[in-house]
Amino acid sequence: MDFIISLLSTPAVLLGVVAFVGLVLQKKSATEVFTGASKTLIGFLIFGIGAAAMTGALQNFNKLFQYGFGITGVIASPEAATALAQSTYGFEVSLTLILGFVLNLVFARITKFKNIFFTTGHSLFFSCVLVLIMSAHGFDRTTTIIVGGTILGFMSAALPQFCQPFMRKMTGGDEQAIGHFNMIGYGLSGYIGRLFSKYEHQTTETIKFPKWLSIFRDFLMGLAIVMLILFYVATLKAGQAFTQELAGTQHWLVFPLVQAFTFVAGMSVLMTGVRMFLAEITAAFVVISEKYIPGSRPALDVPTVFPYAPNAVIVGFICAYAAGLLAIVVMASFPAVFPVVIIPAAHICFFSGGTAAVFGNSSGGWRGAVAGSFVVGLLLAFLPTILYPVYGTLGIEGATFPNIDYNVIGTLLHSILQFIKPI
């Protein structure tokens, strides 16, 4: 059991196994099978190294920003919230995760939703949300696991379909889906973009920068400038003493420089890994889908769409984070309405806001990117306030789950369970 849980919780290994099976079914040579499976696993690990570097830098930015601007509240971090829940509900969460993955395959086989969800880290977070809601309503372990696993399996297959019209447009085919539980938000961003459809050719990638801004044509250099500005604003506001504590032996004014460029380096590594594993897994997946689940496609993590509009990613991060800061002002101004102030996590705004902008950009150009990512940023901030009190009844406090799909589906489940009593 521990082996299976560990396997399903390690996306790199899981994707490597899928590539291995696909290549074996294609009757490739032993060398080709080993090479293809290894490249898939290595590519995903490279992707993970890049993501970890970016997340670490953004978490330092969060600390500087919150201290400097005196913001207190609940951190919108699914990683932290899951860590709090795992100590008490680890067994239920693990079995819900396994059942959800198995039922994802079943639903992909018997329904029109042909998406196989591979971002198992997000499946773990969703499992945790479902278990917490079921437990808060007093349901036993068995019922919690069955209901939670069924919902997880169905949503893993169905929700990517909402984004697929825009994925087809971006990728030029139907072989790849998005697998990240903000899919309601990404699809919504794409539809918001359609409001600006007559401007869809004025994309974030075709913006004509003045000569003095021509550096922004290079995605990594543009990202470096944005991150340098953000880090130094947060650092100067936080002050020398606090920054030096974070920096350790490094000079407090050197620390933001290194963190900003660490983030950019992480993005470069991440993009390299994406290109490497995506090419291998897509080729290997063809045989599996044709033979066992006809018409199926892999639903993969959000950085797989970054190469289609890299400038949109920067725009989306800025807009989503700005929306989160606006939400703080609103929540703090109306304490009778909002039970808690949700503090936006920079890494959530980057990955989710950036992806929303890529979708909005695909249908409405830069206007769609701005509007779509801003709306998604508002949803990431406001939606968690609904379920936070529910988690509080179980002692899960101080962190929460910001993702849109968790909160939309979780709120619906919570509303239904209010009328259903456990046996």
- Predicted confidence pLDDT, tens digits, the chain (423 residues): 677 666 655 767 877 887 888 888 888 888 988 998 898 889 878 877 887 887 788 788 878 988 888 777 777 778 767 777 776 887 888 788 878 988 998 999 999 999 999 887 788 889 989 999 999 999 999 999 999 999 999 999 999 999 999 999 998 888 899 999 999 999 999 999 999 999 999 998 887 766 665 565 566 787 788 789 889 988 999 999 999 999 999 999 999 999 999 988 987 887 788 678 767 776 666 666 667 888 889 898 888 899 899 889 989 999 999 999 999 999 989 988 887 888 887 878 888 999 999 999 999 999 999 999 999 999 999 999 999 899 888 877 777 889 999 999 999 999 999 998 776
Q: What count of residues does the chain have?
A: 423
Query: How far is CA 252 from each of CA 69, 379, 381, rounded to the nearest angstrom?
Result: 18, 35, 31
Quote the CA–CA distance of 375 and 206 in Å, as a whole number.
23
Q: Would you tell me how many other CB atoms lie within 10 Å of the CB of residue 229?
A: 12
Tracing tokens 């600390």 back to the chain, one arrives at 63
Q: Where are the domains of the chain?
A: 2-417
- The one-character DSSP state at 383 is T
Q: Residue 70 corresponds to which tokens in the numbers above?
A: 């005196």
Quote the CA–CA distance of 346 and 75 in Å, as a whole number.
10
Relative to beta strand 342-343, strand 297-300 is unpaired
Are 116 and 166 in contact, with CB atoms under 8 Å apart?
no
Q: Residue 375 corresponds to which tokens in the numbers above?
A: 């709306």
Any residues with CB less than 8 A from the CB of 65 and at least 6 apart, and which? 71, 234, 237, 238, 346
Q: Would you tell me how many other CB atoms lie within 10 Å of the CB of residue 331?
A: 20
402: phi then psi, degrees, rounded to nearest 5: -85, -20
Minimal CA–CA distance to 179: which of 108, 109, 129? Answer: 108
Relative to beta strand 115-117, strand 297-300 is parallel
Helix (H, G, I), strand (E, B) or coil at 403: coil
Any residues with CB less than 8 A from the CB of 172 and at least 6 apart, and which? none
